[in-house]
Amino acid sequence: MNVKCPHCKKSLKAPDSHAGKQGQCPNCKGVFIVSSLTSSTARQPSEQNIPSEIKKNWFGKYQSRYACPSCEEKLISGPDEIGCQISCPSCSTAFVVPGKEQLSAIESQKKREDAEAQEKLELEQRQKEEVADVKRKQEEARRREEQRIQKEIAAHPFDYPIDYTVTSNGMIEYRDQYFEVMQTELRVNPDIDCSDGKFIIKSIRLFKKRVNMTKKENANEIRETKAHFRDSKPRMHKSRSKGLVAGLVNIGVEVSRASHAENFENALEPLEARKELYDQIQLGCDQLIHEVELRMAEN
């Protein structure tokens, strides 16, 4: 039969019995599998329908596990041989190592998973940076507001005596005794001279601004608390398991959700109470200003 050396392309002749076996070119000494150019009976190496299994070895490399299509010898080929032509070491039959499509699908899936994981990581990083940027801007705005209020206080020598103290956690000490405060500290002393009512009103408004700053910080804490509990809420797991196992998993998730909801309510309740009390204090300031204005009108 007529054959051609795949290395030097020289046309050669070989016995039909050599088809599918390893031969050597007499011209370039290259080794190759003999295949006929004309004979339809010659065995052509190709990726036949050879059952195979793609698995990783101990070193993390993929291998194709299969049997020789002729002698059924159990064989293992590494990733460099998958999809390539080889000869069976037992019977010298030439064939293409199966598993190329399987390996390609596995590698494609791995690339997709890696890309998705990288995209998720980058998204989380962007979100962290955005949150940090928002906090930084809020802190800068708070400092600017504080500086502006301090400048107003410095330019306003008269300070109407509204008694209050701020605790280490930023709460106004008397806020829990709001109604008592409305009858004492946040009320105009009948003996005070209201001829300088505009200064009294200015002092009350400055106090209201300080309260408003604390109110904004509390609002930010409410938003952060809601976001934290929203992101950490236990998720229902879609499991292939059925029956008792699936039921136990769902029960565990429901218990976690109930505990999560209780913790959320406990964390949010004092923050919401602070918000309501801040609103009440600011309303009391407005009422106090109105009372001063009435006293000024009477005088």
pLDDT in tens, 71-112: 889 999 988 888 888 889 888 888 889 988 888 888 898 899
Q: What is the pLDDT of residue 166?
A: 45
What percent of the chain clears pLDDT 90, i.e. is strictly above it? 5
Task: Say if residue 215 is in the same domain as residue 245.
Answer: yes
Q: How far apart are the first and last CA of the chain?
A: 128
**pLDDT tens by residue, 105-118:** 888 988 998 999 89
Q: What is the pLDDT of residue 65?
A: 92
Specify if 194 maps to a domain. Answer: yes
Query: Reduced to 3 states, what is the DSSP secondary structure of residue 274?
Result: helix
DSSP label at residue 69: T
Claim to verify: residue 50 and residue 137 sit in the same structural domain = no
- Domain of 91, in residue numbers: 46-98
**Do 151 and 226 sit in the same domain of this protein?**
no
C-alpha to C-alpha distances, 292 to 191, 195, 198, 232, 298, nearest whole angstrom: 12, 10, 9, 50, 10
- Report residues of the chain scoring pLDDT below 70: 1, 35-48, 156-196, 233-255, 299
Question: Do 55 and 150 fall into the same domain?
Answer: no
Q: Quote the percentage of the chain above a pLDDT of 70.
A: 73
User: Quick check: is 145 in a domain?
Assistant: yes
User: Do 164 and 151 share a structural domain?
Assistant: no
Do 162 and 134 sit in the same domain of this protein? no
CATH number, domain containing residue 37: 2.20.28
Asked if residue 103 belongs to a domain, the reply is no
Burial class of residue 160 (count of CB atoms within 10 Å of its CB; 0-12, 13-18, 19+): buried
Q: Which residue has the tokens 């080794």?
A: 31
Considering the domain architecture, whether residues 169 and 270 belong to the same structural domain is answered as yes
What per-residue confidence (pLDDT) applies to 178?
Answer: 40
Q: Do residues 230 and 182 both lie within one domain? A: yes
Distance of CA 187 to the CA centre of its chain: 52
In a domain, 235, yes or no: yes
23 inside domain: yes
In-domain check, residue 242:
yes
Residue 233 and residue 290 share a domain: yes
**One domain for residues 179 and 231:** yes
228/240 Cα distance (integer angstroms): 30
Is residue 133 in some structural domain?
A: yes
- Give yes or no: residues 172 and 273 share one domain: yes
Same domain, 229 and 117: no
Q: Look at residue 294 and tell me if it is in a domain.
A: yes
Total of domains in the chain = 4
